[in-house]
Chain A
Amino acid sequence: MAAGPAPLPLPMLLPLLLPLLLLLPPLLLEPAGAVWPQPQLQRSAPGGGRCPLPPRRFRFAYAAGSAVGPGCAVLEAAFQRYWALLFAAARPTENEPPWETPCTQLLVSVATPGCDGFPSLDSKESYQLSVSEGSMLLSADTVWGALRGLETFSQLVGRDENGMYYINQTEIVDFPRFPHRGLLLDTSRHYLPLRAILETLDVMAYNKFNVFHWHIVDDPSFPYESSTFPELSKQGAFNAVTHTYSASDVRRVLEHARLRGIRVLPEFDTPGHSLSWGPGAPGLLTPCYLGKSPSGTYGPINPILNSTYEFVSSLFKEVSTVFPDFFLHLGGDEVDFTCWKSNPQISAFMKEMGFGEDYKKLESYYIQRLLDIVSSIGKGSIVWQEVFDNGVKVRPDTIIHVWKESSPPYLEELANVTRAGYPALLSAPWYLNRISYGQDWMAAYQVEPLKFEGSPEQKDRVLGGEACMWGEYVDVTNLTPRLWPRAGAVAERLWSNATVRDLQDAYLRLADFRCKLLGRGVQAQPLYTGYCEHEFGGF
């Protein structure tokens, strides 16, 4: 099972695997009451009974005193979804009434009113679930917590050999360790059809991820249909008709996410990673020079023109109205200075501004102005770590996104960022696009985001992290198996208690969870040899 830290050639692998193979039975029955990610507190009374669930009579209902009731779109939609997830396979047969008192409803009680808003970084996702003889109660502060509780509930329901649905008597108190638990999808390197995005949001909800970081445009293509600048996608998409996201597509994603308590964080990455912006916005990108004449190629956004800032201002005004989240991700990573260095007007500007030969100062000049624009629009900013590393003067609540594994090592970077007073997000060890042979989910699982020297205040500034699925080698043909269940390892690391780290136990629970995902129609790949009762059948 633990195939060693690095892939070994086959002949060497066997002696290591064989003894472990004998230890691990192929996955048969589910460890009863296993939830992924593991709840903070879960107790089943020893010898405690279980509650049968009659599918035809089972209902979700609001408890008396709940601040949220019928008409709450978020919960009504969730009740439908979860009923289907639980009982879609039920067959209408007349069973013998079981001798245990059945649980015919899950009462849901939400303390804070509010059903029509969007989740935010500050949303409370805690919940309590109590299953005892004949009665079940889910209570939460907000609807978002209720969603988390419903997901847990759906994972607790099992089916015995007679086909009877049941749930063990349980007490659960749960809340996330980190408030920002995200997944990045890249729709520029490869276009992802809407269905793929919506399905990913579904599986994110099964894993209690709560941020969809939509890296929507980049160098290769610009699929976002802008109402202010329609030429951007007309000229910049792979195909302006078939490979774009219309305004209604975007609205669908936003609502689909909202109903699952998932924030949508759009990223319009500048000044680098913006080649696809050029065709639809002439004059935006820096023309590169070969000696005294333009070479015909382009580089990052041109930071010296007023028109650049007018453009960027209009675009981000639009983006800030289209996307309701308080935060926008502004990118700011990997700016290649070669083109700027070649351009005579830029050289002149550098001199004027007294930047000398330090192009990081020019980059920072641009980012500074961009950050000011965005905050004047009333949004918060998230930026990749270069912005911090280059000494840009950012507002104290700007979130720094740590993505580099080394130079410096990411834990050191987290320490530096939080010591300087900034909130931070971690992605560096969670680049799930970087596949390798074997059970690489283990490395992702063993990451400890707070394993650096720092005060408690510093550690509080680590808001969470994101698993990233960059798109160079990924599209709809391989997205789902590549994401799941590997991203689940990150989901648990970000939700569950820091002490939940045992690999053997995690393997059993994650393998079981993977079979659950298959049962829900998700094309999640295997962790290791073995089987699920119902294998993947959709082609």
Chain B
Amino acid sequence: GCRGYPHIGSSEAYHLTVTEPVAVLKADEVWGALRGLETFSQLVHEDDYGSFLVNESEIDDFPRFAHRGILLDTSRHYLPLKSILKNLDAMAFNKFNVLHWHVVDDQSFPYQSIYFPELSDKGAYSYNHIYTPADVRLVIEYARSRGIRVIPEFDTPGHTQSWGKGQKDLLTPCYNGQQPTGSFGPVNPILNTTYDFMTKFFKEISSVFPDAYIHLGGDEVNFDCWKSNPEVKEFMKKQGFGTDYAKLESYYIQKILDIVSSYNKGYMVWQEVFDNKAQLKPDTVVEVWMGNNYAHELSSVTGAGFTAILAAPWYLDYISYGQDWKKYYSVEPLNFPGSEEQKKLVIGGEACLWGEFVDATNLTPRLWPRASAGRNVTNLQDAYERLSNHRCRMLRRGIAAEPVFVGYCAHEARG
């Protein structure tokens, strides 16, 4: 199988034997072969005379976690294609296998929809800040050849300001007393038109993106606007939700989840969807992102039988002075109270580079090599040396990874 797409169950295991005169790379699937090729490329080194050498070795390798992702945010700032592709290269050098593409949000809607072209026509920053269907196909195929899954995120009902520009009546009108203020809140959960739209929209998304999963968001829904809207209040009464707007949020999410699963897609959601007790299908993946006591959240999610991925300690957009790679490196995802079965439900994690302060000018140095440090725990001093070497390697390969600390690489970036 060479024409298919990688998925959560793909085998990435490989066995590499380097002896004279022929080295042998064996893998169950092509995805494992890709990982093995990357490893092989890192074993080859140059001596002082310019000869390329590789030591005799035997390597048996497979990933501890099946979901190893990077989140890129193309709404707060548009990222030109070149920047996305460059980072897919870097991801492959680091054996990351999921691109979590947070493609739209409040600020802009760069995704050019086939069914709803007005979404990007009105919602993108400008005509030059759009991903056409061809662009999207390029990203998916570029990723596939590197064994990287592309999981798109269309985050609703919050984080949707830009959707309202091109889709009238999708967002909830906010009120001041009896008067609409002219501003809008989250997606309007009480209108049939909302669900008609979502049905058609997610039909498109399900066919454009081949991965088995779509990320549906569901985070940080601000209830103020819903609370101000008389029709919404009326609806709450009719449904018997009282004043518990989390119930309204769950009502909405439930319907979206059902829509998406009718297209035979699995879904990933941010943790609020679980926390607010929506009815999730058993194969839902819950993404734990809140920094406060994420270990406890992992216990809860897996305790309820759901699969989890961890992002909370790996918000790489939170920069600080000094060698912060150490704290990413020291994270042990399975350090939470739970049974063996529970721990098996943690399928991996994601390093997130939210885009408020990031675009193509600073993305690569901000992401690398800090994202490389999201690995398993061993000796920190040894890790420093290996990470520094790896950083120099990435420089040689044209990835503008920033320095770990004082020092130099034999081949500096061209700059």
Taking Cβ atoms with an 8 Å cutoff, the residues of A that contact B are 7, 9-11, 14-15, 18, 21-22, 26, 189-193, 195-196, 220-221, 238-239, 242-243, 433-439, 471-478, 480-482, 518, 523-531, 533-537, 539
Contact = CB atoms under 8 A, between A and B. Distances in A.
Given A21-B106, A531-B108, A436 B356 contact: no
Interface of B: 76-78, 80, 82-83, 86, 106-108, 125-126, 128-129, 161, 183, 220, 222, 289-292, 315, 317-323, 354-362, 364-366, 395, 398, 400-403, 405-408, 410, 412-415
Given A22-B183, A26-B108, A525-B361, A238 B395 contact: no
A527 B322 CA distance: 21
A531 B78 contact: yes
Contact of A535 (B78, B315, B354, B365): B78
Given A193-B415, A525-B362, 15 more contacts: A10-B289, A14-B220, A26-B125, A191-B408, A243-B412, A436-B319, A437-B357, A472-B405, A477-B364, A477-B400, A478-B362, A478-B402, A523-B362, A530-B125, A531-B125
Interface centre among B78, B126, B291, B359 (most CB of A within 10 A): B359
21 contacts: A10-B290, A14-B222, A193-B415, A196-B415, A220-B406, A242-B410, A436-B320, A437-B318, A473-B322, A475-B402, A477-B365, A477-B395, A518-B361, A523-B362, A525-B357, A525-B361, A530-B77, A531-B108, A531-B126, A535-B360, A539-B83
Contact of B405 (A191, A473, A530): A473
B413 A475 contact: yes
A474 B403 contact: yes
B401 A477 contact: yes
Contact of B80 (A11, A434, A527, A537): A537
A528 B83 CA distance: 19
A112 B76 CA distance: 50
A528 B220 contact: no
B319 A528 contact: no
Given A15-B222, A473-B322, A529-B107, A438 B357 contact: yes
A190 B415 CA distance: 13
User: What 10 pairs between A and B have smallest CB-CB spacing?
Assistant: A476-B415, A481-B362, A478-B365, A531-B125, A238-B408, A525-B362, A478-B402, A477-B400, A529-B76, A536-B361
Contacts of B108: 26, 531
Contact of B357 (A15, A528, A536): A528
Nearest to B80: A535
Contact of A437 (B317, B355, B401, B408): B317
A477 B77 contact: no
B245 to A, nearest CB: 15
A435 B365 contact: no
Given A435-B321, A472-B405, A529-B77, A26 B360 contact: no
B319 A243 contact: no
Contacts of B356: 528-529
Contacts of B361: 480-481, 518, 523-526, 536
Contacts of B220: 10-11, 14
Given A531-B125, A537-B82, A11 B290 contact: yes
A21 to B, nearest CB: 7
A526 B292 contact: no
Nearest to A527: B357
Contacts of B107: 21, 26, 529-530
A473 B402 contact: yes
Given A14-B220, A26-B108, A539 B82 contact: yes
A274 to B, nearest CB: 15
B413 A477 contact: yes
Contacts of A436: 319-321
B83 A481 contact: no
Contacts of B400: 477-478, 539
A280 B318 CA distance: 42
Given A14-B220, A242-B412, A526-B77, A477 B402 contact: yes
B91 to A, nearest CB: 16
Contacts of B414: 193
Nearest to B352: A10
Contact of B365 (A15, A195, A481, A528): A481
Contacts of B128: 533-535
